[in-house]
Structure 1
Amino acid sequence: MFILKRQDVEISSIQHPKRDQQVPILNYQGQTFRLISVFKASQEEEARTLWRELTDNRGKACVLLEEPDRFSVWGKIRLDQIGNDTGSHSKNIIYVQGCLLLLQAVYLDIEELLGTRQATLFEKEIAELLQKQQFPGTTSLESVKHLVTTNALDLAKLPLWPENHLIILLQELHKLGKTYFGNANFAHQVTDTLQDMPEEERSLFMSWLNQSSLSKLWQ
């Protein structure tokens, strides 16, 4: 939607009505945006990729803010929506569930086909990815070990990751999978991988997947 410079906008913060935290708010021409993700100056391409994914492929109204030392992506919101930002919570949990099932399938294939040593290396690379992209609740290798072994169908134990993080996860998981296996055949078995999900939830996840640029990677 917009690519803006710091001097083009006003940035402030407001108190979240339901949590003990400040919410960063960007104002531009009477429109209000909240922070989605922050990237280092060296991650310009990653920032632009996420911004294009959200605007071009998912129809979101977003700002890409260029600053000397970083890039950030902001999504349009009304201030009265801040307290209701869990409205799509149930759908998001299904998306997290599907993404974790794909992650676990790749991990198990690596362990079975390439051995424990490669599986351990894969865990470390996933941990580095989650830490670099600031995934909530995943700051250690132990937390990643938990992710790849947790029953993804147990909704109570799933992490609360926003949609933009899930997009990054599946993009990077595809890259890693190609590196380990030498091809992308692993990404063409999504339906089989998700067979344990209830049919309605599986359909919801597949619809989300197919409406994004991820459909070019995961088929």
Structure 2
Amino acid sequence: MFILKRQDVEISSIQHPKRDQQVPILTYQGQTFRLISLFKASQEEEARALWRELTDNRGKACVLLEEPDRFSVWGKVRLDQIGSDTGGHSKQGIYIQASILLLQAVYLDIEEFLGGRQATLFEKDMAEFLRQQQFPQTSSLEAVKHLVSINPLEIVNIPPWQENHVISFLQTLHQLGKSYFGNANFANQVNDRLQDMPEAERSLFISWLNQTSLSKLWQ
């Protein structure tokens, strides 16, 4: 939607009505946007890729903010919507559960074929990504270790990720998996990787996956 500079916008923060946290808000020409992802200055390509995915492929109203030391992606929101972004419910919850199952599948493959040391490094790489992107409730090494060990189909408190988090998470999971294995064979046959999910939920996730650019990565 927009590619803007810092001088073009106003950035402030408001208190989240249901959590003890401040929510960054960007204002541009009377429209409000909330922070989706932060990127380092060296990650311009990744920032633009997420922005294009959300705007071109998902039809979202988003801002790509260019600053000297970083890039950030912001999604349009009404201020009265902020209290309702609970996540972890209905379709979104299913997408998150499937993403965690794919994380576990990649982790177990690395552990089995490359050894425990590489599996530990993979956990650290995922944790660094989640930390940089400020993923809600999952931006630490301990959180990643928790994710690879739980049964996501049984947990009550699913991480409160939004759709953009899921897309970014699966993009990075594919990128890391490819760097560890040297190929993308691990991303084939997603349906088989998700056999633990109920058929209807698995089909819902795969249908969503096929409607995004992720379909080129996960097959």
TM-score (normalizing by structure 1): 0.90
Cα–Cα, structure 1 residues 14 and 194, in superposed 2: closer, same or farther, change >3 Å? same
Displacement of 1:89:
3.5
Matches within 5 A, 1:173-192: 173-192=173-192
Displacement of 1:92:
2.0
Deviates more, 1:22-31 or 1:208-217: 22-31
Indicate the RMSD between aligned Cα atoms, in angstroms.
1.9
Matches within 5 A, 1:53-132: 53-86=53-86, 89-132=89-132
CA contact (8 A) 1:97 1:155 kept: no
Letter in 1 for 2:56: D
Gaps of 5+ in 1: none
Rounded to whole Å, the distance in 2 between the matches of 1:129 and 1:88 is 21
Rounded to whole Å, the distance in 1 between the matches of 2:125 and 2:23 is 30
Cα–Cα, structure 1 residues 106 and 4, in superposed 2: closer, same or farther, change >3 Å? same
- The DSSP-based 3-state class of the residue aligned with 1:11 is strand
Cα–Cα, structure 1 residues 21 and 131, in superposed 2: closer, same or farther, change >3 Å? closer
Runs of 4 or more off by more than 6 Å in structure 1?
A: none
Rounded to whole Å, the distance in 2 between the matches of 1:66 and 1:123 is 30
Cα displacement string for residues 108-147 of structure 1 (whole angstroms, at most 9, x for unaligned residues): 1122222223222222222222222222333443332221
CA contact (8 A) 2:39 2:47 kept: yes
Alignment correspondent of 2:35: 35
Displacement of 1:187:
0.7
Rounded to whole Å, the distance in 1 between the matches of 2:63 and 2:57 is 15
Cα displacement string for residues 9-44 of structure 1 (whole angstroms, at most 9, x for unaligned residues): 222233333333332222222222111122222221
Rounded to whole Å, the distance in 1 between the matches of 2:23 and 2:144 is 28
Displacement of 1:60:
0.3
CA contact (8 A) 2:87 2:161 kept: no
Cα–Cα, structure 1 residues 186 and 75, in superposed 2: closer, same or farther, change >3 Å? same
Identity of aligned residues (%): 80
Alignment correspondent of 1:211: 211
CA contact (8 A) 2:6 2:66 kept: yes
Rounded to whole Å, the distance in 2 between the matches of 1:180 and 1:140 is 21
TM-score (normalizing by structure 2): 0.90
